[in-house]
Amino acid sequence: KVVEPGAFGSFIGKLELKIKDGKVINDEYSFIEINPKKLAEDKKISAIIREAEAPYKAEMNTIAGYSKQPLYRYFVIENTIDTLILNALRFKLGKRIDVILSNGFRFCPPHATPDHTGNIPITNGYIFDMLPIDSQVKTAKATGKQIMTWLEKELNNVFAANAAERFGGWMIKFNGMEIKFRAFGENGKRVEEIKINNIPLDPDKTYSIAACERDGDPEDMLCRMRNVKEPQLQSFTLHQCIKEFLSVNSPVDLTISGNAKVLDASPELLTQVSGVDYEFR
Q: Which residue has the higher pLDDT, 123 or 167?
A: 123
pLDDT of residue 267: 94
Average pLDDT score over the chain: 93
Of 6-10, 48-52, 127-131, 248-252, the range with the lowest mean pLDDT is 6-10
For every residue of the chain, DSSP letters joined together read --SS-SSTT-EEEEEEEEEETTEEEEEEEEEEE--TTTS---HHHHHHHHHHHGGGHHHHH-EEEEESS-B----SS--HHHHHHHHHHHHHHGGG-SEEEE--------B----TTSSEEEEHHHHHHH-SS-PEEEEEEEEHHHHHHHHHHHHHHHH-SSGGG--SSS--EEESEEEEE-TTS-TT--EEEEEETTEE--TTSEEEEEEEPPTT--TT-BTTB-S-EEEEEEEEEHHHHHHHHHHHHPSB-------EEESSS-TT---S--S-SPPP-
Contacts of 89 (CB under 8 A, 6+ apart): 97, 100, 102, 137, 175, 210, 238, 241
Amino acid at 129: D
Give the predicted TM-score (pTM) of the model: 0.89
pLDDT of residue 4: 77
pLDDT of residue 7: 74
Please give the Cα distance from 97 to 75 (Å, whole number).
26
pLDDT at 104 over 80: no
pLDDT digits (tens, 9 = 90+) for 143-178: 999 999 999 999 999 999 888 898 867 899 999 999
Q: Could you tell me what percent of the chain has a pLDDT over 70? A: 99
pLDDT of residue 168: 67
Of 81-85, 263-267, 271-275, the range with the lowest mean pLDDT is 271-275
Q: How do strand 120-123 and strand 177-181 relate by DSSP bridges?
A: unpaired
The residue-averaged pLDDT of 82-93 equals 97
pLDDT at 261 over 70: yes
pLDDT of residue 208: 98
| pLDDT tier for residue 94 given thresholds of 50, 70 and 90 | very high
pLDDT at 262 over 70: yes
pLDDT of residue 276: 76
The residue-averaged pLDDT of 95-103 equals 95
pLDDT digits (tens, 9 = 90+) for 176-195: 999 999 999 999 999 999 99
Please give the Cα distance from 226 to 262 (Å, whole number).
25
pLDDT of residue 1: 78
Q: Which residue has the higher pLDDT, 168 or 111?
A: 111
pLDDT at 32 over 80: yes
The residue-averaged pLDDT of 7-18 equals 88
pLDDT at 213 over 80: yes
